[in-house]
């Protein structure tokens, strides 16, 4: 949704400058709060678009297009005279001099700095994982994964003529959280649609989707009944769920577990976790919490700073006691907003307040027509009602009415079973010319 | 539109095998004719999608998404039991042995072969053109051009702070045919929208779009009044039209003409012509016509062959006398259909007939709200009526109802001036990570 602030006709250059690194949920939420205030805002991101990450698995499985889940940051703030966008990669932060250093060497000075750099896939030292496993955290990840999945199907059809082993249609998804559950469910759908709609000559019995996790149950953040439901639903759509399994090595065509067992497969999808540390600019030498996340004060400042803030996946946002908030979109949005309000307090010489996370529940979809949502106070919604709730909520939160309508049309189509989804293999680089 | 042929329950392997190289307009049109006939059909293409080329300039100027103009070939023929798709690159044709050789060395035998390989941008030996000019013939071209245009705007905004010369916002479009006219018109719109909607801090007076052609008028395939109208319309939207100019060299930031004049510019867009020869598989050693096109008999066979056919942009399709049909979508569609019918005639031992092009007119759009269409008998339609005719015709011909609706929504949005177009810079390869 484009912001329409009250007009800001005054001279901007004299206003305090807030620099936000990262245009994800947290950075955009912070900038929206600041868009009609007496500050100058610069959002710096290496991509010129905001990504709606909860739907990336749909892009990866060819249900949605990149433009359905990505929205230009400039367009979001097009009417906010005090918000600028800078398409650049941040190399480091020179906190003593209040400077952000870009890759090309140019410097951007700030009065307040918001670190909203998100996270990157974490491979936990599993041998070969960073080279061969396919993560799903950025739009580029999603496109790469889609190209791989569709190419595997194309190649498998040709090989079937030569009577090759069925092993080449096994896909392993590592990680039983929402991303892993959603991706493995959507992957079985993609294969079925490709066979039914596209006349792909493949025996459905050759397809094997395996979801593995080291934990004893799926969706560990949810109550146990949700985990049980998700497992049963996934298994009914053909996904093989293997729990309590620890991955030790991955190569181009196999995955190996600590018990020595090995699964030969066409692709390993990595949904096992993220690390904030690798996404941080150099020289942000603050104390780290779990997952490389920057430790912050209750009002979201770095422990050693008065004007550098950290929010979203990049920050170890305090929950209560010694616990930290999970790395979820609602936490990112709420912490981004809170941080922006605190910056205004500091500028106005007012006291800041501690961040408090308002948990509105968590949800995960499991293939078509089913989802599980856990609301506060342990209320669990399952099945089609859960799916409709999931759909409505995601459409509501999608940035931009236009995207919302596009996604709605795409999903309506898919739901009513018309030839759905743009199953395009769009090469990253033109390898064949 | 998905094909729903009468069911084909018989054993396919005994049927004559028609191999079609290329899933463009010509190849798809031929396969549609053959989809419910007593033949086996294999379409081979290096991309798994059909591209609606007349709208590529919209993708390049961020008005449409790749998925709006591309449609998976498998989905088009999903219900046709006798049509298969093979995602592969054809290296050569071994005509004496009736074999198509793929890049991986595997062979595909045929009874009839249809060469529908289209064309590639031709640079006519202009120095530096193949390296620095940006063509617009494939979906990959369009994405590359869009990334370049949007990146140039991003960089220019930053540089304006340092008071750099205005030269970095000059774009030169080479070629005054429909593609050049459409692209230069859409480019001025893109820049205006980016400034108005995205809050890009650029002085519109810095932007310069120059359309050059060696001919003395634009749209030489049209009657003169259409050329005059197109020039006037383009100039009124801010495009600088320079005619009778011959390009001799292009480098990263300039273009030079034969009179020694040089224009410094941020990008050169190449819409000056195509060559069929570079797109042909090796060993197709048939006689060549203009633009490297394969000479064909009146019934569209290679001059030296009884069972190899050529259609669309790849072929020098006879018009009348010594003339050849222009390289246009309607010629591709009609020649593809004709060729398919002739193949059926040959299989049934019936006489073949000569191809006759039914000219239904040509059209080009000139920015928003204006187009020029030349119907048979010299009837010319201009302005908004021409634009609506252009819009309707293109929506009608778009493969797939789904795409048609998506494009319609995108265009309606743009027309009514809502924040339009997905101005995403999606890197081909992740250069910044």
pLDDT in tens, A309-346: 999 999 999 998 788 999 999 999 999 999 999 999 99
Give the distance, in angstroms, between the CA of residue B293 and the centroid of all CA atoms in the same chain.
Answer: 16
Counting one residue from A and one from B, how many pairs have CB atoms under 8 Å apart?
147
Asked if the model's pLDDT at residue A168 lies above 80, the reply is no
pLDDT in tens, A233-290: 999 999 999 999 999 999 999 999 999 999 999 999 999 988 998 788 887 878 888 8
Q: B272, B304, B323: which is the final residue of a domain?
A: B272
Is residue A157 domain-shared with residue A262, that is, in the same domain? yes
CATH number at residue B200: 3.50.50.100
The domain tally of chain B equals 3
Per-residue pLDDT of chain B (433 residues; tens, 9 = 90+): 444 444 444 578 899 999 999 999 999 999 999 998 999 999 999 999 999 888 899 889 888 888 888 888 998 898 889 999 999 999 999 999 999 999 999 999 999 999 999 998 999 999 999 999 999 999 999 999 999 999 998 888 887 655 555 557 899 999 999 999 999 999 998 888 888 778 888 888 888 999 999 999 999 989 999 999 999 999 999 999 999 999 999 999 999 999 999 999 999 999 998 899 878 888 787 888 888 999 999 999 999 899 999 999 999 999 987 889 999 999 999 999 999 999 999 999 999 999 999 988 888 888 777 888 888 877 888 888 888 888 787 777 776 656 667 677 666 665 555 445 567 776 543 333 2
Whether A421 is covered by a domain: the verdict is no
Q: What is the pLDDT of residue A42?
A: 97
Q: What is the pLDDT of residue A368?
A: 73
> Residue B89's closest chain A neighbor by CA?
A432
Q: What is the pLDDT of residue A430?
A: 36
Residue A78 is nearest to which of B139, B406, B419, comparing CB atoms? Answer: B419
The catalytic residues of A are 182
Record the tokens describing residue A184, joined without a space.
Answer: 């493995």
Record the tokens describing residue A55, joined without a space.
Answer: 């739907």
Q: Which residue has the tokens 């932060």?
A: A93
Q: What is the pLDDT of residue B6?
A: 44
Q: How far apart are CA A78 and CA A57, in angstroms?
A: 28
Among candidate residues B382, B304, B298, B384, the one with its CA nearest the CA of residue B342? B298
> Residue B70's closest chain A neighbor by CA?
A424
Q: How far apart are CA A276 and CA A118, in angstroms?
A: 6
Q: How far apart are CA A66 and CA A52, in angstroms?
A: 10
Whether A145 is covered by a domain: the verdict is yes
Triad B13, A151, B7: Cα angle to 5°: 35
Is residue A55 domain-shared with residue A78, that is, in the same domain? yes
Angle between helices A25-34 and A329-347 (to 10 degrees): 30
Q: How far apart are CA A140 and CA B263, in angstroms?
A: 36
> Residue B103's closest chain A neighbor by CA?
A432
Query: Considering B65, B182, B374, B433, which one is annotated as catalytic?
Result: B182
Record the tokens describing residue A420, joined without a space.
Answer: 């759905």
Whether A2 is covered by a domain: the verdict is no
Is residue B109 domain-shared with residue B152, that is, in the same domain? no
Whether B4 is covered by a domain: the verdict is no
Q: Pick from B419, B427, B429, B430 the residue to mutate for testing the A interface (most A CBs within 10 Å).
A: B419
Is residue A262 domain-shared with residue A304, that is, in the same domain? no
Residue A48 is nearest to which of B79, B409, B425, comparing CB atoms? Answer: B425
Give the range of the structural domain holding residue A390, as residue numbers without chain letter. Answer: 360-416
Whether B85 is covered by a domain: the verdict is yes
Is residue A137 domain-shared with residue A268, that is, in the same domain? yes
Query: ipTM beyond 0.95?
Result: no
Asked if the model's pLDDT at residue A4 lies above 60, the reply is no
* Average pLDDT of chain A to the nearest whole number: 87
Q: Pick from A424, A425, A429, A431 the residue to mutate for testing the B interface (most B CBs within 10 Å).
A: A424
Kindly determine whether residue A424 and residue B70, on different chains, have CB atoms separated by under 8 Å. Answer: yes
Record the tokens describing residue B58, joined without a space.
Answer: 């919209």
Kindly determine whether residue A424 and residue B79, on different chains, have CB atoms separated by under 8 Å. Answer: no
CATH number at residue A336: 3.50.50.60
Query: Which of the residue ranges A207-211, A374-378, B246-250 would you say has the lowest mean pLDDT?
Result: A374-378
Q: What is the pLDDT of residue B404?
A: 67
Q: What is the pLDDT of residue B8?
A: 46
Kindly determine whether residue A139 and residue B426, on different chains, have CB atoms separated by under 8 Å. Answer: yes
Radius of gyration of chain B (CA): 22
Q: What is the pLDDT of residue A23?
A: 96
Neighboring chain A residues of B74 at a CB cutoff of 8 Å: 194, 197-200, 423
pTM tops 0.90: no
Sign of CA dihedral A175, A181, A185, A190: negative
Neighboring chain B residues of A429 at a CB cutoff of 8 Å: 428-429
Is residue A258 domain-shared with residue A305, that is, in the same domain? no
Whether A4 is covered by a domain: the verdict is no
Is residue B383 domain-shared with residue B405, that is, in the same domain? yes
Asked if the model's pLDDT at residue A432 lies above 60, the reply is no
> Please, which residues have CB within 8 angstroms of residue B355's CB and are 6 or more apart in sequence?
B298, B299, B300, B317, B318, B334, B335, B338, B339
Q: Determine how many CB atoms are found less than 10 A away from the CB of residue B202.
A: 17
Is residue B184 domain-shared with residue B304, that is, in the same domain? no
Is residue B260 domain-shared with residue B282, that is, in the same domain? no
Neighboring chain B residues of A405 at a CB cutoff of 8 Å: 409
Q: A307, A324, A347: which is the final residue of a domain?
A: A347
Q: How large is the average pLDDT for residues A353-372?
A: 87
Neighboring chain B residues of A47 at a CB cutoff of 8 Å: 425
Is residue B111 domain-shared with residue B20, that is, in the same domain? yes
Whether A8 is covered by a domain: the verdict is no
Q: A272, A298, A333: which is the final residue of a domain?
A: A272
Q: What is the pLDDT of residue B416?
A: 57
Kindly determine whether residue A422 and residue B84, on different chains, have CB atoms separated by under 8 Å. Answer: no
Q: How far apart are CA B324 and CA B298, in angstroms?
A: 11
Cβ A193 vs Cβ A420: under 8 Å:
yes
Among candidate residues A307, A313, A355, A333, the one with its CA nearest the CA of residue A28? A333
What confidence tier does A8 reach under pLDDT thresholds 50, 70, 90? very low
Asked if the model's pLDDT at residue A163 lies above 90, the reply is no
Q: What is the pLDDT of residue B424?
A: 74
Whether B265 is covered by a domain: the verdict is yes
Q: How far apart are CA B417 and CA B433, in angstroms?
A: 35
Q: What is the pLDDT of residue A355?
A: 97
CA distances from A126 to A131, A174, A289 (A): 10, 12, 21
Query: Which of the residue ranges A2-11, A41-50, A72-81, A83-92 would you say has the lowest mean pLDDT?
Result: A2-11
Is residue A386 domain-shared with residue A250, that is, in the same domain? no
Kindly determine whether residue A419 and residue B78, on different chains, have CB atoms separated by under 8 Å. Answer: yes
Residue B48 is nearest to which of A49, A86, A424, comparing CB atoms? Answer: A424
Kindly determine whether residue B65 and residue A70, on different chains, have CB atoms separated by under 8 Å. Answer: no
Residue A89 is nearest to which of B81, B196, B432, comparing CB atoms? Answer: B432
B371 to chain A, minimum CA–CA distance in Å?
26
Neighboring chain B residues of A423 at a CB cutoff of 8 Å: 48, 72, 74-75
Neighboring chain B residues of A49 at a CB cutoff of 8 Å: 424-426
Identify the three-state secondary structure at position A130.
helix
Q: Which residue has the tokens 């992740």?
A: B430
Radius of gyration of chain A (CA): 22
Is residue A409 domain-shared with residue A306, that is, in the same domain? no
Q: What is the pLDDT of residue A55?
A: 87
């Amino acid at each position: 949704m484009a912001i329409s602030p009250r007009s800001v006709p005054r001279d901007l250059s004299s206003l305090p400058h807030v620099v936000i690194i990262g245009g994800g949920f947290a950075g955009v939420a912070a900038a929206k709060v600041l868009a009609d205030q007496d500050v100058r805002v610069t959002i710096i991101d290496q991509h010129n678009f905001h990504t709606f990450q909860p739907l990336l698995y749909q892009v990866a499985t060819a249900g949605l297009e990149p433009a359905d889940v990505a929205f230009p940051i400039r367009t979001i703030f097009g009417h906010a005279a005090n918000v600028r966008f800078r398409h650049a990669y941040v190399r480091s932060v020179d906190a003593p001099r209040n400077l952000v250093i870009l890759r090309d060497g140019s410097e951007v000075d700030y009065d307040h700095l918001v670190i909203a750099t998100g996270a990157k896939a974490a491979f936990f030292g599993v041998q070969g994982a960073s080279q061969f496993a396919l993560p799903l955290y950025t739009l580029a990840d999603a496109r790469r994964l889609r190209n791989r999945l569709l190419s595997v199907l194309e190649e498998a059809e040709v090989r079937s003529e030569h009577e090759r082993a069925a092993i080449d249609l096994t896909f392993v998804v590592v990680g039983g959280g929402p991303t892993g559950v959603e991706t493995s469910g959507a992957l079985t759908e993609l294969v079925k649609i490709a066979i039914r709609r596209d006349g792909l000559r493949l025996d459905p019995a050759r397809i094997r989707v395996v979801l593995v996790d080291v934990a004893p149950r799926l969706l560990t953040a949810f109550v146990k009944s949700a985990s049980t439901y998700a497992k049963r639903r996934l298994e009914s759509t053909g996904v093989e769920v293997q729990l309590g399994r620890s991955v030790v090595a991955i190569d181009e065509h196999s995955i190996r577990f600590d018990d020595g067992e090995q699964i030969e497969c066409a692709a390993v999808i990595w949904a096992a976790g993220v690390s904030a540390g690798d996404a941080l600019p150099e020289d942000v030498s603050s104390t780290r919490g779990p997952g490389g996340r920057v430790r912050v004060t209750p009002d979201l400042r770095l422990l050693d700073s008065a004007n550098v803030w950290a929010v979203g996946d990049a920050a170890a946002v305090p929950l209560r006691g010694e616990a930290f908030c999970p790395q979820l979109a609602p936490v990112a949005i709420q912490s981004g907003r809170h941080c922006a309000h605190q910056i205004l307090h500091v500028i106005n010489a007012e006291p800041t307040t501690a961040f408090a996370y308002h948990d509105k529940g968590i949800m995960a979809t499991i293939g078509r027509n089913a989802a599980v949502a856990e609301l506060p106070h342990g209320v669990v919604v399952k099945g089609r009602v859960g799916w409709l709730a999931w759909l409505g909520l995601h459409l509501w939160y999608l940035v931009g009415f236009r995207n919302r309508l596009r996604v709605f049309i795409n999903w309506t189509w898919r739901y009513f079973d018309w030839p759905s989804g743009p199953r395009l293999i769009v090469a990253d680089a033109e390898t064949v010319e």
